[in-house]
Amino acid sequence: MSKDAYYFPHDSNAQHDEKILQLRAKWDWRGYGLYWAIIERLRDCEKYKLCINSIPGLAISLSVAQAELESFLEQCFDVKLFLKDNNFFYSQSLINRMEKYDNTKKRLQEAGRKGGIVSSQAQARLKQPSSMRLDEIILDKSILKNTTLPAKAESEYVCKTDIDYVLYGYKLEIGIPDIPAELRKWDKLNYKRFVKTAKLLMDYFKDSKEVVNCIEFTKKDCENRNISWTLETVAKRINLYKKEVNSD
C-alpha cells in the first residue's frame, strides 16, 4: 500500500476538541478510536463522503453491531463531527484538510512535471550531434533575427531537481505566494541557508514527496504547539514524523 493511500493531516491535540470530548463522555476511548476509524474510511472514499446505505457493511468491517454504530453516528451528527448530505455523510474538517493537501500536492506535481520536461529536453540536447555545417548555423541565426521568440522559461518556476521540489514545498507551507517572481525572490535570500538541510532530508527519505509530507506534518505539529519552525525543525522531527506515520 502506498503511503498516500492512508495519509491525511491529523491534529495532535484532537482528543481535547470540545466535540470530541462530548463524544468521549459517552463512548470513552472506544468511541475516540471508532471515530478515527471512520475518518480513515472517509479518507479513502470519493470526495471523502460515505453513503449512508453502506453503514451495515461499515459495521461489519469495524466489528461493531449495526445498531451500536448507528447510535454512535447519531451522536456524531448531533455534535457536528459528521454532517449529512442527502444520502451521504462526511467530515467537513477532513474535507477542508484534504482540499488543502490535494491542492498543494497538485502544485508540487505540476512543478515536478515541468522539471521533468526541462530535464528531458536537456538530455535530448546532449544527444544531438556535436557538429553542424556552417550554413546550418548561419541559417539558424537568420531565423532567430527575424522571428519573435516566445517568453523565456524564466516566466515559469520550474523544479529541476528533487532539492528544488523539496524547497518549493517548503515555500508553499510557509506562505510564499505561488508566483514565480515571489518564489525566486525567496531563493535569492534564503536558498543557500536551506539547501543543505533539504539535501540532508533527501538523503534520509530518498523520496522528495515523503520529505514534503514530513514538512506538512512539522508545520501542523508546531502550529498546534504555538511554536515557530523552519526547515531545520523538520530535520529534527523526523523520528516524530515516522512515529506518527507508523501509528496510522
Most confident of 2-6, 110-114, 142-146, 156-160: 156-160
Q: 164-184: per-residue pLDDT in tens?
A: 889 998 998 888 888 888 889
In this prediction the pTM is 0.45
Contact predicate 90/50, CB 8 Å: yes
pLDDT digit string (tens) for 135-163? 443 344 443 444 444 444 445 778 888 89
Whether 197 has a pLDDT exceeding 70, the answer reads yes
Spans of all domains in the chain: 3-90, 96-124+156-247
Runs of H (alpha helix) within the chain:
18-43, 55-61, 66-78, 92-127, 134-145, 162-173, 180-205, 208-224, 231-236, 238-247
Question: What's the whole-number average pLDDT of the chain?
Answer: 79
The whole-number pLDDT of residue 208 equals 87
Burial class (CB in 10 A: 0-12, 13-18, 19+), 124: exposed
